[in-house]
Structure 1
């Protein structure tokens, strides 16, 4: 369900936010969380604990997502920070920057922002991931 077994975090889901549920406010969770509904606020996994977040096709989050392992098939409007593994499935839409350690991106996934590789300790890569137009201008000036 979550790709290859080397990347697999806990596949157990401890909590579910149902399809007809809307939560307004920031959330902090541990273990496994599946969101089928809507969250307006930040969704953050407790630091130092194994965490898995599954955002289903009809789910929507408006806020920052910070988690170890994320499987995304819905919509996130805000930045994503996946410290271990990020799977962007075919129907997902991201409107914000994506910070990841390991990335799996399926055909059809849409990211409206930068993809920034981060080291396992959360540090971002030193290389600039500027927009393509900016890279062309920089290389022409050198």
Structure 2
């Protein structure tokens, strides 16, 4: 009867920006945040962020895990994982450790993977090419 949403962090939700809320300015905090409204400004969060289908963020985001079903126009720095769900749109550059893009999701930007293994492989490859 009810369909379970993958992007909802119900039991750990600390803050909610509802569908009828518009915020202009910088947001900082810790815990878990869900955005279903409109934010114009940067978000710096020590925790996880879910941008719901009606959520729109025009600014840069820095957080641990980020799940996107709405829209982000700005750069994203995710310490652990960024997931763009089928209804999600991200226009901007990203830095992530793990990146998942579902079918029909939209991403327009550059991606930098944050991993020591990638850095080591890149350094090793450069050294081998210079021989």
The TM-score with structure 1 as length reference comes to 0.73
C-alpha distance in 1, partners of 2:40/2:122?
32
Contact 1:14 1:33 in 2 (8 A): yes
> For structure 1, which runs of at least 5 residues remain unmatched after alignment?
3-8, 128-142
User: What is the Cα-based RMSD across aligned positions, in Å?
Assistant: 2.3
Contact kept in structure 2, 1:11 and 1:52, CA below 8 Å:
no
| Partner-residue secondary structure (3-state), 2:109 | coil
Among 57, 61, 72, the residue aligned to 2:57 = 61
The residue number in structure 1 matching 2:70 is 74
- Which has the larger strand fraction? 2
5+ residue gaps, structure 2: 1-5, 124-131
Number of residues of Structure 1 aligned to a counterpart in Structure 2: 114
Offset of residue 119 of structure 1: 2.2
Shift in alpha-carbon separation, 1:87–1:94, aligned structure 2, 3 A: same
Indicate conservation of the 8 Å contact 1:10/1:31, yes or no. no
Moved >6 Å (runs of 4+):
none
Q: 2:96 aligns with which of 100, 119, 127?
A: 100
Map of 1:43 onto structure 2: 43
- Secondary structure of the corresponding residue to residue 53 of structure 2: coil
Q: Which has the larger radius of gyration?
A: 2
CA distance in 2, matches of 1:10, 1:101: 24
